[in-house]
């Protein structure tokens, strides 16, 4: 009878260790997923000053637009640096998302303004930088999707029974936060078109 109880306790202990190791592995996937986003965001942040430099030559009258892009880029870059060490802080994630939305908005406005400058659009450097930015945006989207998939896997595993009991004992008490847009409901809604 004593061996049966001891054997049962050993099995429970091994199972708890397996759950802990799985939680650690999933948390590391989240960290790696964010690192992949970070690489692409830093690439984008590095490309933007080059784009601004080329655009300055043609868009002298659009100084406000260019300065808005630079300010939004700096805000997003600073927000990313703050979030690097605070991935589990919902406020840091929210600030990062807000800064990214601001940058995307400023870049969108710049793209709209660039339409009025055909010689700028035809500039070889501008075309190359625009293509690199587009490719980088796609990579950011894929990396963000992978990150959110890792977060979902972690949260689902952590919330499931009996893992939730073991997770709490080992300090995995909160869900990881997905990178979501502030206006995700507006993005998902069908656009209204009227003629």
Mind listing the pLDDT tens digit for each residue in 9-48?
A: 889 889 999 999 999 999 999 999 999 999 999 999 998 8
User: Domains of the chain, with CATH numbers?
Assistant: 2-178 (1.20.1440.20)
- Tell me the CA distances in angstroms from 150 to 13, 28, 64, 100, one per residue in order: 26, 9, 39, 21
Contacts of 49 (CB under 8 A, 6+ apart): 70, 73
Q: What is the pTM of this model?
A: 0.74
In the block, tokens 């030559």 appear at 57
In the block, tokens 């979030």 appear at 83
Mind listing the pLDDT tens digit for each residue in 91-107?
A: 888 888 889 899 988 98
Mind listing the pLDDT tens digit for each residue in 154-177?
A: 999 999 998 888 888 888 888 888
The per-residue pLDDT for 24 is 93
H helix and E strand count, the chain: 7, 0
CA distance 108 to 182: 17
């Amino acid at each position: 009878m004593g061996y049966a109880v001891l054997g049962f306790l050993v099995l429970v202990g091994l199972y708890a260790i397996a759950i802990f190791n799985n939680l650690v592995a999933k948390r590391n996937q989240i960290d790696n997923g964010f690192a992949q986003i970070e690489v692409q965001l830093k690439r984008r942040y590095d490309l933007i000053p080059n784009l601004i430099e080329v655009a300055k030559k043609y868009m002298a009258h659009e100084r406000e637009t260019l300065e808005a892009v630079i300010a939004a880029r700096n805000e997003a870059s600073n927000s990313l640096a703050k979030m690097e060490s605070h991935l589990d802080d919902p406020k840091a994630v929210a600030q990062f998302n807000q800064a990214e939305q601001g940058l995307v908005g400023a870049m969108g406005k710049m793209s709209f303004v660039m339409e009025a400058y055909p010689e700028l659009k035809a500039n070889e450097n501008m075309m190359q930088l625009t293509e690199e930015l587009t490719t980088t945006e796609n990579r950011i989207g894929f990396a963000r999707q992978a990150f959110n998939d890792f977060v979902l896997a972690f949260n689902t595993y952590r919330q499931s029974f009996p893992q939730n009991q073991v997770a709490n004992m080992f300090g995995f008490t909160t869900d990881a936060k997905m990178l979501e847009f502030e206006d995700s409901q507006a993005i998902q809604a069908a656009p209204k078109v009227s003629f």
